[in-house]
Amino acid sequence: TPAARAVEVWKVYGTGEAQVQALRGVSAEFERGKYTAIMGPSGSGKSTLMHCLAGLDTVNAGTVYIGETQVTGLGDAGLTKLRREKVGFIFQQFNLLPTLTAAENITLPLAIAGRQPDKAWYDTVILTVGLGDRLHHRPSELSGGQQQRVACARALVSRPEVIFADEPTGNLDSRSGTDVLNFLRDSVRQHGQTIVMVTHDPNAASYADRVVFLADGEIVDEILSPTADSVL
């Protein structure tokens, strides 16, 4: 089974004149251990698709799966469990808790779920974050790139089925952005992680194994092994 799957998904906002068909029968599979970028013009439905896949938003028709779990139709308890155990999130704004250290931020999702980190895996993740003793500093004492690597580690530490990244490099200079993109690509190549990333940036998309293009709520194209030029 794919790590995530959308089958004929429709998402409609509003009613009557104000109605927007944000997704119009979208079907897509996100294979395990692959890095997919979703691109398309502003308003084409990229965020909506990601939110529907991750169980942050409900669909009007069609079905969404994360691994073996049918997300569509889950109640609140099921959705909470899904978000805690099966998916990880990386946001443009990092969303770290300012009063916690980097290390505490990384283990927070596990703490909330009442789970112990797998020691060997935790050490691996920490090593790849490459913060050294800054691991015990608060986010305000870290650069943007370091903060985003912490957010990546936080998404990775519970070994989710899929990590969803929404413009992860949108707030970073190009060098920090490259650091974060390398981190994400290494998590796919070395650890078999599955990543779905929304981005406007052709350079960011070139790190993915595949790019899916949305326009007006429909998938209009798909490219394998993209380069920055081929996705422009």
CB of 27 to ligand ADP, least distance (A): 17
Q: Which is nearer to ligand ADP, 52 or 188 (CB)?
A: 52
- Name 54's Cβ contacts closer than 8 Å, sequence gap at least 6: 66, 83, 87, 89, 162, 164
Q: Which is nearer to ligand ADP, 108 or 215 (CB)?
A: 215
CB of 12 to ligand ADP, least distance (A): 9
Q: Which residues bind ligand ADP (CB under 6 A)?
A: 13-14, 20, 22, 40, 42-48
Reported as type and span, the H/E element at residue 83 is helix 76-85
Residue 188 sits at the vertex; the CA angle it makes with 120 and 134, to the nearest 5 degrees, is 55
CB of 200 to ligand ADP, least distance (A): 9
Task: Copy the structure tokens of residue 152.
Answer: 């990546």
How far apart CA 45 and CA 193 sit, in angstroms, is 24
Q: Which is nearer to ligand ADP, 131 or 195 (CB)?
A: 195
Q: Which is nearer to ligand ADP, 44 or 107 (CB)?
A: 44
CB of 170 to ligand ADP, least distance (A): 8
Three-state DSSP at 99 gives: coil
